[in-house]
Amino acid sequence: MTSYIVTTLVTSTSNFSHPTPGPLYARIRDELRTMIVNGTYQPHQRLPSESDLIKRYGVSRITVRQALGELEKEGLLFKIAGKGMFVSKPKPFQDLARLQGFAEAMSRQGYEVYNRVVGLDFAAGNGTADSDEPRQRLDLAEPERIAELKRVRYLNREPVSYDVSYMSATLGERLAKEDLPGRDFFLIFENQYGIALGFADLAIDAILADSEIAELLQIAKGTPILRVERLTHSRDGQPLTFEYLYCRADNFQFRLRIAR
């Protein structure tokens, strides 16, 4: 028989002792979300019942259900008929509102990160249709070589993305001497090369994984994945890297807060 953990209510810890502006359901939602993220409620732990939450916050059932419904839409909760609401196993995420490397973002969340270098090429693709867009986006003249770096990014030993990065051959040759399996090149740029990062242009779409990508990401061919196209500039506006990031959607997500 499956056992469920029922959380004891402690009303003295509620943020509602210090009311904040905003709809009641949003305040309940935000407090519960914080308790899920900080580990007060663990994955697969049962949340207090609707009746308990009504007593705790002194609100209506509709208000509680609206708060829980929003968290369910976010993927933080899941419902078991007749049992109640339970905390989902959280997906690792990267905030697209900040320009940061994958390992930089994931390490802050306590995840183990590893990069498997699939290839670093300075010749293949140059002068072909495959290199036309990267060359144009990086503003590289035709005689100048272009470097192509391919990596599979692992999170807790599970592949989450396949990254194909283009840059000038000069920059690629410097990176070839670095610890690429263990470090993000964003941090290498800033901390070792003194290149200040400025901004990145992003485009995101969904595609079906071909046989090569499917094998690298350990998914079935034809599985829907996210493709992120990213052009990163230095602080003075010079293009540094142009990338295609092919990301699994089942074990990773991107987040972005947009203000009106």
Q: For each of the chain's 260 residues, which pLDDT tens digit applies? A: 444 433 333 333 444 544 445 689 999 999 998 898 788 998 889 999 999 999 999 999 999 999 999 998 877 888 888 899 999 876 677 777 788 877 777 777 777 889 999 999 986 444 444 568 899 999 988 778 899 999 999 988 889 999 999 999 999 999 999 999 988 999 999 999 999 999 999 999 999 999 999 999 999 999 999 999 999 999 999 999 999 999 998 877 777 777 88
* Separation CA 206–CA 200 (nearest Å): 20
Cross-strand partners of 202? 230
Domain locations in the chain?
Answer: 11-87, 93-255
Q: What CATH number does the domain located at 93-255 have?
A: 3.40.1410.10
d(C-alpha 246, C-alpha 225), whole Å: 7
Place of tokens 């990145």: 200
Total-model pTM? 0.65
CA distance 137 to 18: 51
Q: What backbone torsions phi and psi does residue 65 show, to the nearest 5 degrees?
A: -65, -35
DSSP 74: T
Angstrom distance (rounded) from CA 17 to CA 10: 12
End-to-end CA, the chain: 49
Query: What is the fold, at CATH topology level, of the domain defined by 11-87?
Result: Arc Repressor Mutant, subunit A (1.10.10)
DSSP category for residue 15: G
